[in-house]
């Protein structure tokens, strides 16, 4: 199909498709004439993948580039890919730490993860995310220990165990790693949305019980 | 303290503080002289709150404004506030739906939530988030039913039940609602980070077991 057909199939404007092509996010089509190229199902798939990462996971274009490159790079193993996915976490900008709260929180988070017995790299970006969150809670006056994260760690542990088992060991490498990336990012958003709906449901129940 | 003292206490530059003042995110200080004002602990607290919402929860300034206004508005009840918090969810831009996947996914999500028996508003933004995620999965070739969300719904249900119970019923209204908002947003980020660390941990274990 021509680029206009690709636009029709995906619902993405021709201008945006041309931008993806220029940015190298979308591989070039098969040239058919000067300024014309033919696109196939793999292009439809790639555009859909870009839209998942952008519209559902909320990643910026630079991060999408990094993720797509890692999916396509045969040298990146399944385990290493998890590091790339972790790198897509929103990370607090490196801010001054006038009161030393971030440094203190980081030490607490590292000790907490060690007590859990989790084998995770010291440079795992998620450690910084947790330290930033803990420091932020303390700065608004919630003097919580890292142990406040325990119920969340238990839930995360259970979820991750069956998620890792659910990744099919068969199929092409790129299908597997794409499944891993999309699964982590999209089901993260799905869980967050379900948690907020469950808040609404349980808060309604709690309110109903308050009434005489 | 002067604005320079507020800057030192919070680690936020004077230029940024002035921007927050102009935007109405930070209430004005007590005027002491022309172009001078005195700031107190409540200003330190507000700046920390803005930074949590920005750096940890990753909200944009318009959304932060909406959240802070809701916290301060005595007419907004605890339950209504959950709607405001839901409104901070990343939402897929209203995109064309050339293949009707979003419409189909929305119907599936609504039916799924009805089967769960959750009492949530039809206009709850999280329904749209779930429909967008389901449509996105299907567009990249994962023909999943909404039931694929079941294990996530179970986990979200358990978590939300104890989270709603954990909000203290005592204390000032603004402390309560602030706790609710910050808890939903920050612990959402905390859970997501822990889930990714748990992936790393379990993927390492799975790999170790593969070896002879």
This model of the complex carries an ipTM of 0.84
pLDDT at position B94: 58
Size of interface A-B (CB pairs under 8 A): 269
Q: Give residue for tokens 């897509």.
A: A88
3-state class (DSSP) for residue B13: coil
Share above pLDDT 70 across residues of chain B, in percent, rounded to a whole number: 91
The tokens for B103 are: 């419409």
Contacts of A30 (CB under 8 A, 6+ apart): A37, A38, A39, A40
| d(CA A140, nearest CA chain B) in Å | 6
Assess B209–A contact: CB distance below 8 Å, yes or no: no
Q: What angle do CA A128, A130, A136 make, to 5 degrees?
A: 100
The 10s digit of each residue's pLDDT in A125-138 is 899 999 999 998 89
Assess B164–A contact: CB distance below 8 Å, yes or no: yes
How far is B39 from B31, CA to CA, in rounded Å?
9
The 10s digit of each residue's pLDDT in A142-185 is 889 999 999 999 999 999 988 888 776 667 777 777 887 888 88
Q: Assign B90 a pLDDT band (cuts: 50, 70, 90).
A: low
Assess A10–B contact: CB distance below 8 Å, yes or no: yes
Share above pLDDT 90 across residues of chain A, in percent, rounded to a whole number: 39
- Exposure of A42 by Cβ count < 10 A (0-12 exposed, 13-18 middle, 19+ buried)? exposed
The tokens for B116 are: 């769960």
Assess A124–B contact: CB distance below 8 Å, yes or no: yes
How far is B87 from B81, CA to CA, in rounded Å?
10
Interface of B with A in 18-37 (CB under 8 A): none
Q: Assign B16 a pLDDT band (cuts: 50, 70, 90).
A: very high
Average pLDDT score over residue span B134-151? 90
pTM of this structure = 0.84
Contact residues on chain A for B118, CB-CB shorter than 8 A? 197-198, 200-201
The 10s digit of each residue's pLDDT in B160-207 is 988 888 776 667 777 777 887 888 888 988 999 999 899 888 887 665
Nearest to A119 among B132, B178, B204 (CB): B204
Examine the pLDDT at B78 and tell me if it is beyond 80. Answer: no
DSSP B117: T
pLDDT at position B140: 85
């Amino acid at each position: 199909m021509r680029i206009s057909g690709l636009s029709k199939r995906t619902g993405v404007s021709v201008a945006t498709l041309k931008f993806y092509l220029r940015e190298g996010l979308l591989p070039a089509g098969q040239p058919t004439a000067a300024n014309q190229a033919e696109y196939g199902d793999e292009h439809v798939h790639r555009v859909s993948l870009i839209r998942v990462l952008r519209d559902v996971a909320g990643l910026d274009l630079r991060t999408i580039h990094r993720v797509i490159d890692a999916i396509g790079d045969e040298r990146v193993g399944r385990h290493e890919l998890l590091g790339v996915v972790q790198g897509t976490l929103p990370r607090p900008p490196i801010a001054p730490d006038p009161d030393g709260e971030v440094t203190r929180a980081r030490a607490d988070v590292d000790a907490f993860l060690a007590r859990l017995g989790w084998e995770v790299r010291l440079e795992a970006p998620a450690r910084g995310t947790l330290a930033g969150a803990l420091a932020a809670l303390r700065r608004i006056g919630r003097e919580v220990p890292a142990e406040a994260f325990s119920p969340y760690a238990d839930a995360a542990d259970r979820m991750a165990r069956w998620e890792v088992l659910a990744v099919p060991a068969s199929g092409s490498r790129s299908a597997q790693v794409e499944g891993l990336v999309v699964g982590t990012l999209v089901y993260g958003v799905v869980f967050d949305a379900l948690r907020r709906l469950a808040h609404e449901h349980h808060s309604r129940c709690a309110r109903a019980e308050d009434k005489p």
